[in-house]
């Protein structure tokens, strides 16, 4: 039975389109799997601390099993977030596009879960860094809302979309390569444009809830 970890990244609450659309998927999925586990992690309206010097020193400490207690404390939240990620089969990320990328809270979450020795490994091959993903058997659904129009595959603004590429790259780096993106676009266009986009996204999310 699948378990779902839902990451919510919009700073908006009830007015958030990405949150509302994610709920279309989550409630349909829950209705089909009433016994399944759904865990939520707030990263848009709760502070996920940015990486600081203490974090870097602790995360890349050469002897991870002998980290001083103070370093273990510096990694406590990161350990929790990694454990949470590893403890679920499906990752659902709801996020707006913010300045062509993701909100800083979601970026901070990524920085906390991309962890040497836990979600990826690093070796040297003839002196050149090689990276190995450590996460297996998971898939991700990204539900995103954008004010503009044309950021999707083949769209006029595709090259400016650093949100989907960041998420796909970072998730792929740790081993989550089965990633589906459902986007609603045009919140800043006339209402009809957005309504059509949202209706299409909802249909696709309902279909995915039957597959996941
Ligand atoms: C700080 C900020 C930056 C934004 N940057 C972009 C952007 O780069 N491209 C875009 O299409 N929309 C941008 N928008 C609009 C949001 O993507 C849009 O309002 C989206 O629907 C918000 O999602 P939400 O309702 O889940 O919060 C931005 C909005 C904010 C508040």
Per-residue model confidence as pLDDT tens digits over 37-51: 999 999 999 999 999
Using an 8 Å Cβ cutoff, are 123 and 132 in contact? Answer: yes
pLDDT at 1 over 80: no
121 lines ligand 1 (CB under 6 A): no
Using an 8 Å Cβ cutoff, are 186 and 149 in contact? Answer: yes
pLDDT in tens, 68-122: 999 999 999 999 999 999 999 999 999 999 999 999 999 999 999 999 999 999 9
What's the gap in Å between 95 CA and the centre of ligand 1?
Answer: 9
148 lines ligand 1 (CB under 6 A): yes
10 lines ligand 1 (CB under 6 A): yes
Q: Where does residue 21 fall: left (phi above 0), alpha (psi -120 to 50 degrees), or beta otherwise?
A: alpha
Q: Any idea which fold 4-211 has? A: Rossmann fold (3.40.50)
pLDDT at 206 over 80: yes
17 lines ligand 1 (CB under 6 A): yes
The residues that bridge with 100 in the sheet, in sequence order, are none
20 lines ligand 1 (CB under 6 A): no
Nearest atom (ligand 1) to Cα of 151: 11
């Amino acid at each position: 039975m699948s378990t779902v970890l839902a990451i919510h990244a919009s700073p908006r609450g009830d007015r958030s389109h990405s949150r509302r659309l994610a709920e279309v998927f989550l409630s349909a999925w829950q209705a089909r799997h009433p016994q399944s586990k759904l865990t939520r992690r707030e990263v848009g309206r709760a502070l996920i601390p940015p990486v600081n010097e203490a974090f870097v020193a602790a995360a890349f400490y050469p002897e991870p099993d002998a980290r001083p207690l103070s370093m273990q404390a510096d990694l406590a939240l990161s350990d929790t977030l990694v454990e949470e990620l590893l403890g679920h089969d499906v990752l659902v990320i709801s996020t707006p596009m913010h300045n062509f990328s993701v909100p800083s809270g979601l970026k901070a979450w990524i920085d906390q879960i991309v962890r040497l020795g836990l979600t990826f490994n690093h070796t040297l091959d003839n002196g050149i860094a090689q990276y190995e993903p450590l996460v297996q058997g998971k898939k991700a659904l990204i539900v995103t809302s954008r004010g503009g129009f044309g950021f999707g595959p083949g769209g006029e603004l595709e090259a400016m979309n650093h949100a989907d590429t960041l998420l796909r790259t970072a998730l792929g780096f740790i081993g989550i390569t089965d990633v589906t993106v459902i986007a609603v676009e045009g919140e800043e266009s006339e209402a009809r444009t957005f309504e059509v986009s949202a209706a299409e996204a909802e249909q696709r999310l309902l279909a995915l809830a039957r597959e996941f």
